[in-house]
Structure 1
Amino acid sequence: MKAPVIDLQAIRLAARKLEAGALVAFPTETVYGLGADAENPAAVASIYAAKGRPSNHPVIVHVAPEADIAYWVESVPPQAQALIAAFWPGPLTLILPRAAHIPDQVSGGQSSVGLRCPSHPVAQALLREFKGGKGGIAGPSANKFGHVSPTTAQHVRDEFDTEGDSPIACILDGGQSEVGIESTIIDLSRIASHGPVLLRPGHISAAQIGAVLGVAVQAADAAAPRASGTLESHYAPRTPVLLVASAQLAGTLQQMHQAGQSLALISYSALTTGMPSLAAQFPMAAEAQAYAHDLYAALRNMDHAAADLIVVETPPSSQAWQGVNDRLRRAAHDSSAVLAGFKK
């Protein structure tokens, strides 16, 4: 990936906007974030308002590589220190007990806080400039709540500038996000009683985390903290999304086409037979990381195809695809119900 050009003047302007309480969109290696001063409750509230996000749905605080993590939390357990050493800067968010002086707006009223140090050079330059590197930027994805996350600056403009009245003071352009899906989220706030708990899969796998910690990562339980991007319906385009297994794909497409459905297809197989005419098609890589890189761009592209349905060939179920499958499952939350209705 070509290194993005860092416009220092734009970085300084964005940092001053954040310090004044405004919203700034900025690139990370996962997706673009909608940033505000994490210690300014009014600024964080403006994130929720701009996104239409429920106020009890926490946001992640981004910090510079040199940041003092202990400022944000009650304590930094050795497990957190080990994961920071192994994976930061990078696409890993740690949930830890929130320090008393940190406003609860960033945690949706919970006693924990999510922290991440991004690896994107533009994000790091912004974090180092903002409050002299000592601040934190609350930064959920820069899109309306529940919609497809943005992986380019243009995606952010498309999401918020449709009528020329954007709530965002400025957008930093850092090219297309390299990873393409949101960070892995690990809960360490209950480490003594529950061990490490996976709240959201991502580019860094549970197996990689378990290898560093020397213990298996547990699945989320009913009492786990709420975390970004974990609602059943999320990451969804406006056009309904249907997940269809590879073996049934050609037949299902033909059936839907004969029923008068206009279809857009996202697939990774080289399908050549049994294919009806399509409104649009987005061919994907058959390798998990490359697929993740293009996933949100594909969903956004197919959402503009004026199709009745976006049909997605279900990816493999191996560990490498866990993050991709998590996003697609949430994007196609009502997929089975739509298919069941179609087959009637």
Structure 2
Amino acid sequence: MTASILIKNQVKMHTEILKINPKNPQLSKIRQAAKVIKSGNLVAFPTETVYGLGANALDSRSVKKIFVAKGRPSDNPLIVHISDISDLKMLVDHIPNTAHKLIAKFWPGPLTLVLKKSKIVPKITTGGINTVAIRMPENKIAQALIRETGVPIAAPSANISGRPSPTIAKHVFDDLGGKINMILDGGKTKIGIESTVIDLSRKHPSLLRPGGISLEQLQSLIGKIALPSSIHERKSKLIHRSPGMKYRHYSPNAKIILIEGSKDKVKNKTLHLLAQFQKQGKKVGIMSISNTKYKSDMTVFLGNKLDVLAANLFNTFREFDVKKIDVILVHGINRKGLGLGIMNRLEKAAYKKIKID
């Protein structure tokens, strides 16, 4: 199946925004949203990671609307969201013991499992391959919506393909307003980067995308897990079993330059590049690991709390867009724990990467 981007001349529609209580979602509003999905249309809703753009995962026509609204390549698989373990048994051919261990520990939560799909799952949902990515979200709004809809919900991030993922309803509307039917506004998402994705469809588990559950947490439970860079057939379409692997993602309008190295060397390189770009008349933003007061157009201190950084990463990218920043100089962080997921997003968003020995 060759990649294509499903874009049509869409008729602009009214996008209804329903504010909903994240702690105690109003059933009347959940039912309104469920009715939209059951009628074959699209609803954006919050999860604990980012906002998702939901459609009936088992209805090819509904799923196709996701690709059209987002301008998403058709070979980029979607994650299917469920609210009950019985749904998993319907969607996959086999649940290995490793999956049972991970489910017992991390579901509901920000962990996606890739397994061999059953015949009930349309190939458009899986990007044309024989595996399906599934997770059970922890967010109460997401859980209530899936239960009330009565079908698994396919839901990638609710943004234009390639843009920073949405962590508040406004981000969704900025990208998809007039292209989708409804947005459930449940406030800011908790984690801020997408779920961890682990492939259990083969003999040895592989980490396809780091996220809210760390590699260390997974390995402490099930042992060694291969990383994408260590998989020999990386260039094969079969390895792209997860969203976020094949295409440039998470990018603001500005060009991101990711700089890694010791603090002093990173600081000196940042000062050099800042002067160079400003001389060219560029507006420069900086995401810094130090408290250095750079004379940039916008400087954001990354801080030491990885959970705070993750929660605000995509919102920060969008703030740079509001300031019409041309170039963002980003300092790399340690890849341990949640840092691996954050660096994955920064690397995917980067126009250029610089490593200083």
- How far has the Cα of 1:255 moved from its partner? 3.3
Contact 1:284/1:294, CA 8 A, preserved across alignment:
no
- In structure 2, which of residues 261, 268, 278 is the aligned counterpart of residue 257 of structure 1? 278
- In structure 1, which of residues 256, 262, 283 is the aligned counterpart of residue 301 of structure 2? 283
1:308 matched residue in structure 2: 326
The SS at the match of 1:123 is helix
2:217 matched residue in structure 1: 208
2:256 matched residue in structure 1: 241
Contact 1:65/1:124, CA 8 A, preserved across alignment:
no
- In structure 1, which of residues 41, 51, 61 is the aligned counterpart of residue 80 of structure 2? 61
Distance in 2 (alpha carbons) for counterparts of 1:64 and 1:142 = 20
Contact 2:132/2:241, CA 8 A, preserved across alignment:
no
State the Cα deviation string for residues 49-89 of structure 1 (Å, max 9, x = none): 11111111110000004543111000111111110001001
State the Cα deviation string for residues 127-154 of structure 1 (Å, max 9, x = none): 11112xxx10000000111111100111
1:342 matched residue in structure 2: none
- In structure 2, which of residues 287, 300, 316 is the aligned counterpart of residue 266 of structure 1? 287
- In structure 1, which of residues 310, 322, 328 is the aligned counterpart of residue 340 of structure 2? 322
Contact 1:27/1:33, CA 8 A, preserved across alignment:
yes
* Percent identity for Structure 1 against Structure 2: 38
State the Cα deviation string for residues 250-284 of structure 1 (Å, max 9, x = none): 34323332343211222242113xx22x3223333
Structure 1 position 196 matched with structure 2 position 215: no
- How far has the Cα of 1:12 moved from its partner? 0.5
TM-score, normalization by structure 2:
0.86
- How far has the Cα of 1:241 moved from its partner? 1.0
TM-score, normalization by structure 1:
0.89
Q: 2:218 is aligned with what amino acid?
A: I
- In structure 1, which of residues 174, 177, 193 is the aligned counterpart of residue 189 of structure 2? 177
1:83 matched residue in structure 2: 102
- How far has the Cα of 1:179 moved from its partner? 0.5
Contact 1:53/1:145, CA 8 A, preserved across alignment:
yes
- In structure 1, which of residues 132, 135, 150 is the aligned counterpart of residue 166 of structure 2? 150
Structure 1 position 168 matched with structure 2 position 180: yes
- How far has the Cα of 1:16 moved from its partner? 0.8
2:16 matched residue in structure 1: none
Q: Name the CA shift for 1:65/1:101 in 2 (closer, same or farther; >3 Å).
A: closer
1:228 matched residue in structure 2: 243
Q: Name the CA shift for 1:38/1:320 in 2 (closer, same or farther; >3 Å).
A: closer
The SS at the match of 2:208 is strand
Instruction: Give the aligned CA root-mean-square deviation in angstroms.
Output: 1.9
- In structure 2, which of residues 16, 23, 27 is the aligned counterpart of residue 8 of structure 1? 27
Contact 2:193/2:342, CA 8 A, preserved across alignment:
yes
1:111 matched residue in structure 2: 130
Gaps of 5+ in 1: 340-344
Contact 2:254/2:325, CA 8 A, preserved across alignment:
yes
Contact 1:97/1:111, CA 8 A, preserved across alignment:
yes
Distance in 2 (alpha carbons) for counterparts of 1:255 and 1:316 = 27
Q: 1:211 is aligned with what amino acid?
A: S
- How far has the Cα of 1:285 moved from its partner? 2.7
Q: 2:179 is aligned with what amino acid?
A: P
- How far has the Cα of 1:109 moved from its partner? 1.1
Distance in 2 (alpha carbons) for counterparts of 1:130 and 1:232 = 31
Distance in 2 (alpha carbons) for counterparts of 1:258 and 1:10 = 53
Distance in 2 (alpha carbons) for counterparts of 1:176 and 1:226 = 28
Distance in 2 (alpha carbons) for counterparts of 1:314 and 1:80 = 32
State the Cα deviation string for residues 19-78 of structure 1 (Å, max 9, x = none): 110000000011100000001100000101111111111100000045431110001111
Distance in 2 (alpha carbons) for counterparts of 1:216 and 1:66 = 25
How many residues align structurally? 322
Distance in 1 (alpha carbons) for counterparts of 2:93 and 2:276 = 57
Q: Name the CA shift for 1:255/1:316 in 2 (closer, same or farther; >3 Å).
A: farther
Contact 1:205/1:319, CA 8 A, preserved across alignment:
yes
